[in-house]
C-alpha cells in the first residue's frame, strides 16, 4: 500500500505536514462513501485511492456500493445523459423503477456514520435514511444544463443534504444547500500514473501488436457516446489525409452503464475497414493504460459532455500533448495553446493534431506545461485536503466556506 509520506518527493514535505495537521481535527469522525460501482469510471478510481489514504491519516473511512438490476441502471444511465443535457425519453415507469430500487437500498445499507458521502444520482435517495448525521451529495457530472424534469426530480432529494459538491463553477445551480467546488484528481503514484521503464511500455505494445512505425493518436475512455469515439475516428481520418498515423481507441465498460457494449460494437463497425485503427476493450488494467498513454504521440479526449475528464489529467501528467473538447472540467486542465489544445469540432481537433505532429517541439512544450499545471492543481494530495476541509466545514454554521 502507498503511504502518505510516499508523496513527499512529488509535492513536498510541507504539503504532507499540512494534511496531517488537518486530519488531527477529524480523528473522532467516521465517514462512509456510497456510489454505484466498485470498478469502472472515475468515481470508483478516485475512491479506491482516497479511502485508504484517509484511513492512514487516522480518519475512519469506508466505502459501500448500492445494488441494482439491469432496469435500474438503464434508468440511471438516462438520468446521467439527461443531466448532461441530452434529450431522453424518461417515463413515469422509469421514475418508479428508480424509487423502488432506492427503497431496497435504503433498507439494506447502513448509514449511521458521522458523515455520509453520496456520489452521483444513483444512490441519491439514500438521504431518506438521514438521522442526526451529516450528508454530502457529490455530483461528478456536468450539470450546467440539466433536463428540468430529471433535475427537479433529483432536487427533491438534494435539498435535504447538508452540502453539495460540484467539479467546476459552471455546474453549480441555485439550491438551498451550501455548495462547494472541488475538482477531481489523479494519483501520481498509482499503477496508472507511476513512471514506467521503456521495456515495460514496449511489452504492452508487443502484447497488443501495436507497431511504432508511425505517430500514434490515442483516446482512452469508457465506450460511451458522450466520449464520442465515432468522432475520434473522423478526426483521425482527416489527419490521415496529411500525416500517416495510427489510431488507438482503448477503454472498457462499467456495471452501471448498460450502453457500453453497444457503443463498443458501433466503434468496431466504424473501424473495420482500416488496418491502422486499433480498438481495445480493456477491463480496468491500469498498468496497460499507463503504458499506452506513454507510448502515444497525441492524446485525444473528444468528449461531447464531460464532468471533469481524468484521462486528460493522466495524459498531461505524462507530459503528453492533449487535444480535447472544450467541455465540462476539461477547460480547468487545459489552457489553450499553453498546456494543450482545446477544440470545438472534428475539423478543429484534426487541425490541432496536425499542428502537433508537424511540430514535435511544440507538442513537447505543451506536455511540459501541462504536467506542471496538473502537479500544482490536480493531484490527490490537494483533493485530500479539500475533502477534509469540507468535512470540517459541516460542523460550522457559516454560509460560505473558502478553501
In tens, the pLDDT along 131-142 reads 999 999 999 999
Residue 276 within any structural domain of the chain: yes
> Using an 8 Å Cβ cutoff, are 275 and 244 in contact?
no
Burial tier of 28 (Cβ tally within 10 Å: 0-12, 13-18, 19+): exposed
Q: pLDDT tens-digit profile of 336-391?
A: 999 999 999 999 999 999 999 999 999 999 999 999 999 999 999 999 999 999 99
Q: pLDDT tens-digit profile of 4-18?
A: 999 999 999 999 999
Identify whether residues 241 and 155 lie together within a single domain: no
Identify whether residues 365 and 387 lie together within a single domain: no
Domain around 288: 198-377
Compute the Cα dihedral for 117, 121, 123, 129 and give only its sign: positive
- For 60-98, b where at least 16 C-beta lie within 10 A, e where not — what string? ebebbbbebeeebbbbbbbbbbbbbebebebeeebeebb
> Using an 8 Å Cβ cutoff, are 34 and 66 in contact?
yes
> Using an 8 Å Cβ cutoff, are 259 and 224 in contact?
yes
Identify whether residues 146 and 206 lie together within a single domain: no
Residue 398 within any structural domain of the chain: no
Identify whether residues 291 and 338 lie together within a single domain: yes
pLDDT band at 259 (very low <50, low <70, confident <90, very high): confident
Identify whether residues 78 and 216 lie together within a single domain: no
Identify whether residues 336 and 206 lie together within a single domain: yes
Number of domains in the chain: 2
Residue 190 within any structural domain of the chain: no
163 forms bridges with which residues in the sheet?
A: 136, 178
Name the DSSP class of 38: S
Identify whether residues 42 and 178 lie together within a single domain: yes
323 forms bridges with which residues in the sheet?
A: 300, 341
Identify whether residues 154 and 121 lie together within a single domain: yes
Residue 278 within any structural domain of the chain: yes
Residue 230 within any structural domain of the chain: yes
Q: What is the CATH number of the domain that holds 259?
A: 3.40.50.2000
C-alpha distances out from residue 14 to 17, 53, 262, 287, Å? 5, 17, 48, 30
**C-alpha dihedral, 308 to 311 to 314 to 316, nearest 10°:** -80
Residue 192 within any structural domain of the chain: no
pLDDT band at 256 (very low <50, low <70, confident <90, very high): low
Write phi, then psi, for 120 (nearest 5 degrees): 70, 180
Mean pLDDT of 221-237: 95
Identify whether residues 367 and 388 lie together within a single domain: no
Cell numbers 438490476 correspond to what residue? Answer: 69
Instruction: Give the Cα separation of 269 and 260 in Å (integer).
Output: 15
Amino acid at each position: 500500500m502507498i503511504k502518505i509520506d510516499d508523496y513527499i518527493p512529488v509535492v513536498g514535505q510541507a504539503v504532507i505536514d499540512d494534511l496531517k495537521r488537518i486530519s488531527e481535527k477529524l480523528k473522532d469522525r467516521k465517514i462512509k462513501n456510497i456510489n454505484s460501482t466498485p470498478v469502472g469510471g472515475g468515481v470508483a478510481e478516485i475512491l479506491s485511492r482516497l479511502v485508504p489514504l484517509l484511513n492512514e491519516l487516522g480518519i475512519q473511512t469506508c466505502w459501500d456500493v448500492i445494488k441494482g438490476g439491469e432496469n435500474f441502471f438503464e434508468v440511471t444511465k438516462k438520468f446521467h445523459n439527461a443531466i448532461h443535457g441530452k434529450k431522453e425519453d424518461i417515463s413515469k415507469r422509469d421514475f418508479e423503477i428508480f424509487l423502488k430500487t432506492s427503497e431496497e437500498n435504503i433498507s439494506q445499507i447502513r448509514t449511521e456514520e458521522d458523515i455520509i458521502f453520496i456520489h452521483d444520482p444513483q444512490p441519491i435517495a439514500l438521504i431518506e435514511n438521514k438521522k442526526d448525521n451529516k450528508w454530502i451529495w457529490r455530483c461528478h457530472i456536468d450539470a450546467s444544463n440539466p433536463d428540468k424534469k430529471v433535475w427537479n426530480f433529483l432536487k427533491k432529494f438534494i435539498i435535504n443534504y447538508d452540502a453539495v459538491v460540484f467539479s467546476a463553477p459552471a455546474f453549480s445551480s441555485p439550491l438551498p444547500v451550501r455548495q462547494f467546488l472541488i475538482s477531481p484528481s489523479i494519483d501520481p503514484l498509482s499503477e496508472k500514473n507511476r513512471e514506467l521503464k521503456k521495456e515495460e511500455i514496449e511489452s504492452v505494445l508487443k502484447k497488443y501488436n501495436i507497431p511504432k512505425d508511425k505517430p500514434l493518436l490515442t483516446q482512452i475512455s469508457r465506450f460511451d457516446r458522450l466520449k464520442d469515439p465515432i468522432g475520434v475516428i473522423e478526426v483521425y481520418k482527416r489527419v490521415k489525409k496529411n500525416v500517416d498515423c495510427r489510431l488507438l481507441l482503448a477503454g472498457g465498460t462499467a456495471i452501471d452503464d448498460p450502453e457500453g457494449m453497444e457503443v463498443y460494437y458501433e466503434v468496431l463497425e466504424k473501424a473495420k475497414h482500416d488496418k491502422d485503427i486499433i480498438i481495445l476493450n480493456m477491463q480496468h488494467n491500469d498498468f496497460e493504460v499507463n503504458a499506452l498513454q506513454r507510448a502515444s504521440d497525441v492524446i485525444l479526449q473528444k468528449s461531447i459532455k464531460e464532468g471533469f475528464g481524468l484521462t486528460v489529467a493522466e495524459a498531461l501528467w505524462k507530459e503528453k500533448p492533449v487535444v480535447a473538447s472544450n467541455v465540462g472540467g476539461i477547460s480547468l486542465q487545459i489552457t489553450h495553446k499553453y498546456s494543450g489544445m482545446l477544440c470545438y469540432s472534428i475539423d478543429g481537433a484534426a487541425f490541432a493534431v496536425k499542428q502537433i505532429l508537424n511540430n514535435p517541439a511544440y507538442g513537447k512544450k505543451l506536455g511540459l506545461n501541462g504536467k506542471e499545471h496538473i502537479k500544482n492543481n490536480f493531484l490527490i494530495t490537494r483533493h485530500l485536503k479539500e475533502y477534509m476541509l469540507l468535512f470540517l466545514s459541516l460542523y460550522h454554521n457559516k454560509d460560505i466556506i473558502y478553501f
